[in-house]
């Protein structure tokens, strides 16, 4: 029986009840985080919790109880007998009366669920450009809010065309990110990824890759990139907490070799997830 | 005891259970409609249902069962003993497994709730420009999806500054709409409101106002408008299904008189909601 952690208690998922008046459901008024457990170790938990707290500040939610959330994550893993898992933390403003304006005095909803990993994760991916643009002028483009419908539509469009991922441009026509990943290009030998100001979520895996590059003297930079840069890149890869570092070997109709820089960062990332 | 209609059944709101795996909650993967009942008559129900169906097509949801939804709305009103009410219809893609890509074969979640009207509705409103821009390049800007968080942030910002409503510009810097209303300006004697391509939800009340203007020979047009137009407007008003037609009498620091065109459209709209 799958257990989830809901508002301080472990409950059977099939009995857990979300209030129909929850503003997370009605208005996407909330946040989430997805992280991965490796043999029971929660990879970059603190970074995920810090991002959740930063998102809560943007939405004007009460500061989330981070130690309690960390304990809930561990309890959920244990209750489901999972050591390797993907974990989702969902935080909403809670159930409120009718109306758009956030009510005062409501209790946020906190939910933690853990899932077994898929039997296999991709070792290479293809991507196309999405028709939907990300709004780099919105603060929501830089936090992991529940308003994920644009990403769903973009990914659905890519899947229908036979691609694994959709790359979204921003309204200025520059590259933002994948529907559920950050994009890195190797340009003139330098690992390059755009800054959050381009309208993208600063992924925790993205941050790890940048840190690993710095630590291992792999030239890297954060800089706006364009679709033309994508075409001329010698290598490309995607990152997220579940997929880690995955070579992007087909960009629209263009084949890109899975090159040495990607391979090296993929190994370094893997190594960083292993027990110390 | 408040009753809501959930997946084909009337249930006590305090017992109604939304599945924690509902994609409406997790990813804002769904739609809603808000309409008003006048003495038991559902104002523009067909237009609301048509907009819901159009939104479902954009999201790739199954075509919603409109006659069943209409019946659920009537049943919900009756079960709560309400004749004058605001009604919310919520339709999500339903509960699904982990992951962004819409699963196949899931059953959408359909929920109808009815609320008594507030004891008073405003007869004039103030508004300021929001710092958040609407993305007119996204199809979501033109449908009533659950991804409403931008509107919440914009309204919260306006309320904190002492205004009743936030007017959102689009990424091109032209006027889109209010956080929960459409904006009309009277410019050179002509009632003017921007087109959906500017990044706004085509409101049902907005449509009614345009139809009433045409019917009563009040000059009206659908045309992009700018913040400068707002400053030079001789009258301004907001529309939505709950508020009807409300004079906008303060725009940032500028006072705007509640003029004769607004007054006339307000009365015509009111009259159109009365029993035939």
- How does pLDDT run across A158-207, given as a tens digit for each residue? 999 999 999 999 999 999 999 999 999 999 999 999 999 999 999 999 99
Q: Do the Cβ atoms of B21 and A29 come within 8 Å?
A: no
How many residues appear in chain B? 276
Q: Do the Cβ atoms of A98 and B88 come within 8 Å?
A: yes
The answer to whether residues B256 and B158 belong to one domain is yes
Q: Per mean pLDDT, which range of A125-134, A141-150, B254-263 is the poorest?
A: B254-263
Asked if B117 reaches chain A (Cβ–Cβ under 8 Å), the answer is no
The answer to whether residues B102 and B51 belong to one domain is yes
Alpha-helix runs per DSSP H in B140-259: 149-160, 204-215, 227-232
**Measured in whole angstroms, how far is the alpha carbon of residue A13 from the centre of its chain?**
23
The answer to whether residues A112 and A145 belong to one domain is no
Q: CA of B137 to nearest chain A CA: how many angstroms apart?
A: 6
Instruction: Give long-range contacts, CB 8 A cutoff, 24+ apart: B59-68.
Output: B59/A149, B59/A152, B59/A153, B59/B29, B59/B30, B59/B31, B59/B93, B59/B143, B59/B145, B60/A156, B60/B102, B61/B30, B61/B31, B61/B91, B61/B93, B61/B108, B62/B108, B64/B91, B64/B108, B64/B110, B68/B8, B68/B110
The answer to whether residues B222 and B249 belong to one domain is yes
- A11, A131, A135: which to substitute to probe chain B, counting the most B Cβ within 10 Å? A135
Q: CA of A215 to nearest chain B CA: how many angstroms apart?
A: 32
Asked if B111 reaches chain A (Cβ–Cβ under 8 Å), the answer is yes
Q: What percent of chain A has pLDDT over 70?
A: 100
The number of distinct structural domains making up chain A is 2
Contact assessment for residue A95 and residue A106, using Cβ atoms and an 8 Å cutoff: yes
Boundary-marking domain end, from A79, A99, A116: A116
How many residues appear in chain A? 276
Bridge partner residues of B111 (DSSP): B6, B90
**Measured in whole angstroms, how far is the alpha carbon of residue A231 from the centre of its chain?**
25
Q: CA of B214 to nearest chain A CA: how many angstroms apart?
A: 32
Residue A274 has pLDDT above 90, yes or no: yes
Task: State the residue range of the domain holding A244.
Answer: 125-273
The answer to whether residues B133 and B268 belong to one domain is yes
> Which pLDDT score is estimated for A257?
84
Q: Do the Cβ atoms of B156 and A20 come within 8 Å?
A: no
Q: Do the Cβ atoms of B148 and A29 come within 8 Å?
A: yes
Q: ipTM beyond 0.90?
A: yes
The answer to whether residues B73 and B35 belong to one domain is yes
CATH number at residue A196: 3.20.10.10
Q: Do the Cβ atoms of B155 and A101 come within 8 Å?
A: yes
> Which pLDDT score is estimated for B257?
84
Boundary-marking domain end, from B83, B116, B149: B116
**Chain B residues close to A34, C-beta within 8 Å:** none
All residues at 6 or more sequence positions from A83 whose CB lies less than 8 Å from its CB, including other chains: A37, A39, A40, A77
**Residue written as token pair 């709560």:** B80
The answer to whether residues B148 and B107 belong to one domain is no
Calpha distance A137→B132 (Å, rounded): 7
Averaged confidence pLDDT in chain B = 96
> Which pLDDT score is estimated for B132?
96
pTM over 0.95: yes
Q: Do the Cβ atoms of B135 and A139 come within 8 Å?
A: no
CATH number at residue B95: 3.30.470.10
The answer to whether residues B151 and B87 belong to one domain is no
Query: How does residue B256 score in pLDDT terms, banded at 50, 70 and 90?
Result: confident
Residue A25 has pLDDT above 80, yes or no: yes
The answer to whether residues B246 and B146 belong to one domain is yes
Average pLDDT over residues A124-146: 96
Q: Do the Cβ atoms of B29 and A152 come within 8 Å?
A: yes
pLDDT tens profile B123-155: 999 999 999 999 999 999 999 999 999 999 999
> Which pLDDT score is estimated for A30?
98
**Chain A residues close to B32, C-beta within 8 Å:** 26
The answer to whether residues B233 and B267 belong to one domain is yes
> Which pLDDT score is estimated for A138?
94
The answer to whether residues A83 and A137 belong to one domain is no
Asked if B59 reaches chain A (Cβ–Cβ under 8 Å), the answer is yes
Residue A276 has pLDDT above 80, yes or no: no
Asked if A146 reaches chain B (Cβ–Cβ under 8 Å), the answer is yes
Average pLDDT over residues A27-34: 98
Query: How does residue A1 score in pLDDT terms, banded at 50, 70 and 90?
Result: confident
Boundary-marking domain end, from B53, B83, B116: B116
The answer to whether residues B110 and B137 belong to one domain is no
**Chain B residues close to A102, C-beta within 8 Å:** 152, 156
């Amino acid at each position: 029986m799958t257990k989830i952690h809901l508002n301080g208690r472990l409950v059977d998922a099939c009995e857990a009840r979300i209030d129909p008046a929850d503003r997370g459901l009605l208005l996407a008024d909330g946040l989430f985080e997805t992280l991965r457990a490796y043999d029971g170790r929660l990879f970059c938990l603190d970074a995920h919790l810090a991002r959740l707290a930063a998102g809560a500040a943007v939405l004007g939610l009460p500061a989330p109880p981070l130690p309690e959330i960390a304990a809930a994550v561990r309890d959920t893993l244990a209750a489901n007998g999972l050591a390797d898992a993907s974990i989702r933390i969902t935080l909403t403003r809670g159930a409120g009366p009718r109306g758009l304006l956030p009510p005062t005095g409501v209790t946020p909803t906190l939910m933690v669920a853990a899932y077994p990993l898929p039997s296999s994760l991709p070792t290479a991916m293809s991507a196309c450009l999405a028709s939907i643009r990300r709004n780099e002028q919105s603060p929501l483009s830089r936090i992991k809010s529940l308003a994920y419908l644009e990403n769903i539509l973009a990914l659905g469009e890519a899947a229908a065309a036979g691609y694994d991922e959709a790359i979204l441009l921003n309204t200025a026509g520059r590259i933002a990110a994948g529907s559920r990943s950050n994009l890195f290009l190797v340009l003139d030998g330098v690992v390059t990824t755009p800054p959050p100001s381009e309208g993208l979520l600063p992924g925790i895996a993205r941050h790890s890759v940048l840190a690993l590059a710095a630590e291992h003297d792999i030239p890297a930079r954060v800089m706006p990139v364009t679709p033309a840069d994508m075409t001329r890149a010698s290598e490309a890869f995607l990152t997220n907490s579940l997929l880690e570092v995955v070579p992007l070997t087909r960009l629209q109709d263009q084949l890109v070799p899975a090159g040495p820089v990607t391979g090296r960062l993929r190994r370094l990332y893997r190594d960083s997830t292993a027990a110390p």
